[in-house]
Amino acid sequence: MEPVRLEEIAEEYRRRSSAVAARIVLCAGTGCIANGANKVFAMFKTVLEAKGLDVYVDLKMVEEDKAGFHLSESGCQGFCQMGPLVTVLPDNIMYTRVKAADVAEIIEETVINKRPVTRLLYKDPATKEVCRGTGDIPFYTQQKRMLLKMCGQIDPGDINEYIALGGYAGARRAHLELSADDVTRIVEDSGLRGRGGGGFPTGRKWRAAAAQPPGKKYVICNGDEGDPGAFMDRSVMEGNPHSVIEGMLIAARAIGADEGYVYVRAEYPLAVKRMRAAVEIAGSLGILGESVFGSGRPFRINVMEGAGAFVCGEETALMASIEGRRGMPAPKPPFPAECGLFGKPTIINNVETLASVPIVISLGAEQFRATGTKASPGTKTFALTGHVANTGLIEVPFGTSLRTIIFDIGGGVTTRRGPGKPEDFKAVQIGGPSGACLSPRYLDLPLEFDSLKAINAMVGSGGLVVMNQDTCMVQVARFFMQFTQSESCGKCVLCREGTYQMLVLLDDIIEGRADERTIGLLESVARAVGTGSLCGLGKSAPNPVLSILRDFRGEFDAHIAHKRCPANKCTALIRPSIVASKCRGCGLCVKSCPTGAITGERKQAHIINEALCIRCGACLTTCKLGAIA
């Protein structure tokens, strides 16, 4: 096969794209699809065609003598809460919450007459200013999108667009111009650390595999992403699959591998589909296959669906799963770099780590280090969710504070009554089931691997769940314990039984059975589980509970000593009563009460009959005036 000519592809793509009159990019990430993006896409096609305009969904179809319109889908653009998102280029106007019914107006006004439809533009709730596009929406302006830059811009199904934006140039350089040692050294010098949780230096891992004798070696991309609330890796695989392939190609050059696996979470069908399609097209161009870029070196990639267990994300379990065995972790050493998949030297890297590698090669080590902190260079993506105004996928330099993320990018904390005040912020969960819950005292901590480790927290894969004062922290501890307990593979007694015992103790606290010995017992079981478990799942399982105990001890004490849940969430402990001075007698709670326990005259303070109350808590969440406590 003729070696692929990246410049020719790029030039051809640019020529065709400059021939279209306008481009309409519709976010087709999972969040926007859930909000109806597919209907909006179909409507754009229908309306453009009905107007007799030429619509190209693939630039290969462009007829250069006709001023057609390029309609394309992108991966997640991050601002999922405001989706479906529609961007009209070249004017870069972004519309939020677009419905099929809005399409005709967008086409008439913006696509044809070049005027924005103001009602569909994002309005900054803080300043009430109307924003035309990503250039003035605070959610975007406060981020630094390096890894996600193309994600959300490009059509993930069109390799030509990736190439036109400089894609695969790093992999070609690695295979044709640099030695394996040069490639490893650039990655080492860049200080890139693994984004899959632990922050292990990527170059050091590669060096260890490169040092093994020549022969069969593997590169594995870990796309299992099982942390609750995390969707960063999914977004990269769905939105820019070629960046992952390019990272794997560079890794393969560094260690001398000829085969790779992308292990994708089975619950991510779109990511599986996009990765498979990208591997196939890259193969058809000779980027993957028998002679990568005509170098004479082979590299093939297999895309495999995960086995559906959180523990399969652990590297030794993941390899067992690829080998067709049950996904159970094995002791280390030997490390995968020495003896990995099918007993061969293997490097396993996270999706985001691998997608960062082409950026490292194109910027060079020094420029890559210019972003982030000395010990944690570069940027990190986070999935921002929970009680925050702007939920979504964000990317910030390492060293950014939680305050910037939650209040500037996230737009502040929300409450059930709407936008909240800074004091409504209670905690943020970082790092998923291996991570910690951080209280307001950590709001100004720069987020990086080592600063978090110093407070027994971790960056983890990047889930950030914001919680307001209505959250019961004992229940949050229970949620994570329940998760790790049910995901334990059962190999180690301490992980299997210890997490179960921790769950039982947390239930005792939540259901009012705990006494003064409970916390001591919880802490000692937690220590045993952390010390005696084999893999990261068991070793880190106590982290969320211990961090909550450290920062929210008062809430545990209230549950145990006073049999009271300060957030009024533990139904066994609540005793709702109406504060007469606050109650305006609106009667909303009466409607929500399933047992008729609440009575009162309109516009008069109501009362609760304790004998009838079953403590369901419905009235507590219904009362908008906070008159029920």
Ligand X SMILES: Cc1cc2nc3c(=O)[nH]c(=O)nc-3n(C[C@H](O)[C@H](O)[C@H](O)COP(=O)(O)O)c2cc1C
Q: Which of residues 496-535 bind ligand X (CB under 6 A)?
A: 535
Q: Rule CB under 6 A: say whether 224 interacts with ligand X.
A: yes
Q: Which does 359 bind (CB under 5 to 8 A by kind): ligand SF4, ligand X, ligand FES, none?
A: none
From 24, 32, 71, 351, residue interacting with ligand FES (rule: CB under 6 A): 32
Q: Is the peptide bond before 90 cis (omega within 30 degrees of 0)?
A: yes
Q: If binding means CB under 6 A, how many residues of this protein chain bind ligand X? A: 23
Which one of 58-66, 148-156, 193-201, 558-566 is the stretch in contact with ligand X (CB under 6 A)?
Answer: 193-201
d(CA 310, CA 486): 10
Which one of 72-80, 268-276, 341-349, 560-568 is the stretch in contact with ligand FES (CB under 6 A)?
Answer: 72-80
Q: Rule CB under 6 A: say whether 222 interacts with ligand FES.
A: no
Q: Rule CB under 6 A: say whether 173 interacts with ligand X.
A: no
Which one of 25-33, 327-335, 518-526, 559-567 is the stretch in contact with ligand FES (CB under 6 A)?
Answer: 25-33
d(CA 42, CA 4): 34
Q: 491 or 569: whose CB is closer to ligand SF4?
A: 491
Sign of CA dihedral 443, 449, 453, 458: positive
From 13, 29, 167, 328, residue interacting with ligand FES (rule: CB under 6 A): 29
* Length in residues, the chain: 629
> Contact residues for ligand SF4 (CB under 6 A)?
311, 329, 488-492, 495-496, 533-535, 537-538, 576, 592-595, 597-598, 608, 613-619
Q: Rule CB under 6 A: say whether 27 interacts with ligand FES.
A: yes
Q: What are the angstrom distances between the C-alpha of 338 and each of 204, 207, 600?
A: 13, 11, 74
Write the interaction track for ligand FES spanning residues 392-411; mark x where CB under 6 A is met and - where it is not: x-------------------
How many Cα atoms within 13 Å fall on the side-chain side of residue 226?
A: 25
Q: Which does 27 bind (CB under 5 to 8 A by kind): ligand FES, ligand SF4, ligand X, none?
A: ligand FES
Q: Rule CB under 6 A: say whether 311 interacts with ligand X.
A: yes
Which one of 293-301, 308-316, 337-345, 552-560 is the stretch in contact with ligand X (CB under 6 A)?
Answer: 308-316
Q: List the end-to-end C-alpha distance of the chain, in Å, as a whole number.
A: 74
Burial class (CB in 10 A: 0-12, 13-18, 19+), 152: buried
How many Cα atoms within 13 Å fall on the side-chain side of residue 163?
A: 21
From 198, 289, 440, 446, residue interacting with ligand X (rule: CB under 6 A): 198
Q: Which does 358 bind (CB under 5 to 8 A by kind): ligand FES, ligand SF4, ligand X, none?
A: none
Question: Six-digit token pair at 366?
Answer: 């020094």
Cα–Cα nearest to 71, from 12, 9, 17: 17
Q: Least distance to ligand SF4 from the beta carbon of 537, Å?
A: 4
How many Cα atoms within 13 Å fall on the side-chain side of residue 159?
A: 26
Write the interaction track for ligand X spanning residues 200-219; mark x where CB under 6 A is met and - where it is not: x-------------------
Which one of 4-12, 79-87, 406-414, 569-577 is the stretch in contact with ligand FES (CB under 6 A)?
Answer: 79-87
**Would you say 398 and 378 are in contact if contact means Cβ atoms under 8 Å apart?**
yes
The CA angle 441-442-444, to the nearest 5 degrees, is 105
Q: Which amino acid appears at position 57 of this protein?
A: V
Quickly list H helices, 191-311.
202-210, 232-239, 241-255, 269-284
Q: Which does 17 bind (CB under 5 to 8 A by kind): ligand SF4, ligand FES, ligand X, none?
A: none
Q: Rule CB under 6 A: say whether 78 interacts with ligand FES.
A: yes
Q: Which amino acid appears at position 93 of this protein?
A: I
Q: 379 or 568: whose CB is closer to ligand X?
A: 379
**Would you say 246 and 166 are in contact if contact means Cβ atoms under 8 Å apart?**
no
Q: What are the angstrom distances between the C-alpha of 522 and each of 303, 492, 549, 573?
A: 42, 19, 10, 20
Query: Cβ atoms within 10 A of the Cβ of 319, count?
Result: 26
Q: 134 or 373: whose CB is closer to ligand FES?
A: 134
Q: Which does 618 bind (CB under 5 to 8 A by kind): ligand SF4, ligand X, ligand FES, none?
A: ligand SF4
Q: If binding means CB under 6 A, how many residues of this protein chain bind ligand FES? A: 13
d(CA 431, CA 437): 9
Q: Which of residues 445-474 bind ligand X (CB under 6 A)?
A: 461
Which one of 75-83, 182-190, 202-210, 261-269 is the stretch in contact with ligand FES (CB under 6 A)?
Answer: 75-83
Q: Rule CB under 6 A: say whether 26 interacts with ligand FES.
A: no
Q: Packing angle between helix 180-190 and helix 351-363, nearest 10 degrees?
A: 100
Give contact residues for ligand X (rule: CB under 6 A).
194-198, 200, 222, 224-226, 310-311, 313-315, 348-350, 353, 461, 535-537
